[in-house]
Amino acid sequence: MRLTLRRSCAACARAKHSCDLRTPRCARCIKRKIHCVYANAPATPPAASGQEEDQLIRRPLEKFNLTGGRLGSLDPFDSYPQTRLPRERVQRLIHSFIHKIAFQYYPLDLNAASNPFLVSWWPLALGDPALFHVSLQTACLDEELLAQKGFQASEILMADSVTLLRRKIEDVSLAVQDGTMDSVITLAAIEFGKGNTDISNMHVDGVKKLVKMRGGINAVRQTSPLTARMVSWVSMLVTGRPQFETQNDLGIGDGIPPIPEWQFDSFTPHGLPGLENMDVDYEVLNVYHRLRNAFHRAQRIPFPPTQLHDLTCFVIHRLLLSAPDITSSPPSPITECLRYGIVLYMFIVQGPTYFSHAVILNTIVTRLMNHITELESIHHEYGFFDVWLLGVGMVASAGTAHYSWFVERARAMARSLDFESWNEVLINLKKILWLETAPVENNFRPHWDRMFNAADATGGLDLSQCAGPGVYENPSLLILQYKGQKV
């Protein structure tokens, strides 16, 4: 006879006492010095078979005690919506989501007690069949990509996800729920990864309507920060352009808000090193100035991860929304180089969030290359701005066909300026725009070190350790990895 789900250990159940569900032993069993057994909660996840077992990468259970303390409600073997998959497969996918997917989708917070996919998303999914199916689908796709045996289970989850969502959309009160928007934007990302851009755009249009019904993206943010962040960010990644306006510098409007530090200083077009006497449009200079000030303050009080994400989202949206229509009038190459240089720099500083930003990053890199080519047609001497611009371009294009384009120009510039070491480069980078953190320096330094290495000077750069900023440590998780595989 199958064991029923129980919200206590066996000893507490027999004594009819409440159980705090702590593992490996609850408080009552510790006090009484007796064995503590959870009949319905296995100590390890159900084992995968064959190739899947060898390939699945899991975080140690000891690192994330999801059933202890404040996260007791996240016990994956407590209760969950029904699916058409076997119970053992569902439990394995649950384990994968809460121990792996949550942290790779949101690497900004590796703390199980605060990661929003565990404290906000997952409890919501346990009570929302549509979101639960979508969540399992992300874990299932990751597992199936590793196994290379087809996508049968994820297709079942996809079909049921769509059916459940259609039912929710028919009821206005259910349609505007956070779980509905979370589900729709995740499906948009999945379809985009499969190459189904029309379906992906349809999902984005749908979630935009839901956001409008809620009063705008800032109104959604007031009650569900994770939903607002994910909807605004992912919709931009899959469409290649911002889908929501930003608030103004004072925080007025219903768009994406600036962080508090953005408002501390008003912009004055003076004292901008490296950009003196350059024809840069006010809107881009304003962003540059305020961002420099925010980074300067971050040296004293570092940005919390979510605040850095909010700043990145706001800045990139603001700059891309204000980009001119090149068909109407030729833009200033200096302005556009600064615009797209800042956009790429913010992508680099933050890193991938939710899933890879490689596609939009490549688009922005191409635009930057075009404007640098225009800038090169204007006679000018190398300066701080050129060092920063080519440095950003190298990091953003690493691992792509565009990388050598930036390397060749960076080498020529380094020879012209008599640079011989990374420290000389770093001084120039800091004069334009620089966030003082070890991860940022670790993104930039390897490219220049290899350039200055005498062994590499004649044989080209070794790119084996120069991964681009849009690459995950575990590429199988990327939703954007479907292309070329039959789904």
* 395 lies in the same domain as 430: yes
Residue 335 sits in the same domain as residue 192: no
Instruction: Identify whether residues 62 and 202 lie together within a single domain.
Output: yes
Q: State pLDDT tens for residues 60-94.
A: 333 334 444 344 444 444 579 999 999 999 999 99
Overall number of domains in the chain? 3
pLDDT tier at 162, thresholds 50, 70, 90 = very high
Is 113 among the domain residues? yes
CATH at 4? 4.10.240.10
In a domain, 52, yes or no: no
> Based on the domain organization, do 418 and 281 belong to the same domain?
yes
DSSP state of 100: I
In a domain, 459, yes or no: yes
Q: Are 121 and 181 in contact (CB under 8 A)?
A: no
Question: Tokens 């792996």, residue?
Answer: 100
Q: Is residue 353 part of a domain?
A: yes
pLDDT of residue 279: 81
Query: What is the Cα–Cα distance from 486 to 151, expressed in whole angstroms?
Result: 8
Task: Please report the pLDDT score of residue 228 as a whole number.
Answer: 97
| 239 and 307 fall within a common domain | no
pLDDT at 143: 94
Summarize pLDDT for 238-287 with one digit per residue, the tens: 999 999 999 999 999 999 999 999 988 765 555 566 666 678 899 999 99
Per-residue pLDDT tens digits for 325-361? 877 677 889 999 999 999 999 999 999 998 889 999 9
Same domain, 29 and 112: no
Claim to verify: residue 302 and residue 232 sit in the same structural domain? no
Domain-embedded: residue 47: no
Domain that holds residue 11: 1-41
Please state, in angstroms and rounded to a whole number, the distance separating the CA atoms of residues 16 and 13. 5
Residue 27 lies in a domain: yes
* Statement to judge: residues 241 and 313 lie in one domain: no
**Are 308 and 224 found together in one domain?**
no
Percent of the chain topping pLDDT 90 = 65
Among 183, 104, 97, which Cα is nearest to 476's? Answer: 104
Average pLDDT of the residues of the chain: 83
Q: What percent of the chain has pLDDT over 70?
A: 79
Residue 385 lies in a domain: yes
Same domain as 233, residue 140:
yes
**Residue 331 in domain:** yes
Q: Is 369 helix (H, G, I), strand (E, B) or coil?
A: helix
